[in-house]
Amino acid sequence: MKYLLLLSFCFLFLQGQAQNSDSSNEPDSIKKTVLATYYHRKFEGRRTTSGAKYRAKKLTAAHRTLPFGTLVTVTNPDNGKSVVVKVNDRGPYAKKLAIDLSERAAKEIGIYRKGIAKVSLSYTVE
């Protein structure tokens, strides 16, 4: 009887450990409210830090620390519009700003011509 109890306990312990290790492999989802701006038209065709050419009609962005290729959902809290952009550049370098959006991304969420706007960022870090 003691062995059966010990065996059951070990089984339950190992099953709990397996579930914990599975959940730790899931990527963390990050959500932040930050200030954003967008690229000026003069940057059209110039190389980004990743080596890709900046194209105003693409859904791309610059971020100081996120890895290139990270997909970020940017939401305008004023109107609820969202867009998914791919990080392919570094910047913005003004400390109060967290992300530079392409012209198309800024237009899609309604911050184009505002200069600076508050947005919510959501992305997954693996």
Residue 62 within any structural domain of the chain: yes
Position 7 in a domain: no
Dihedral (C-alpha) 45, 47, 50, 52: value to the nearest 10 degrees?
30
Give the span between the Cα atoms of 60 and 52, in whole angstroms. 10
Query: How many CB atoms sit inside 10 A of residue 103's CB?
Result: 20
How many independent structural domains does the chain possess?
Answer: 1
Q: What pLDDT, on a 0 to 100 scale, did the predictor assign at position 21?
A: 46
Asked whether residue 15 is domain-assigned, the answer is no
Q: What is the pLDDT of residues 64-114, one digit of tens each?
A: 999 999 999 999 999 999 999 999 999 999 999 999 999 999 999 999 999
**Which single residue is written with the structure tokens 């980004």?**
48
- List of E strands, the chain: 28-38, 60-63, 71-75, 82-89, 99-101, 117-125
Residue range of the domain that includes 98:
27-125
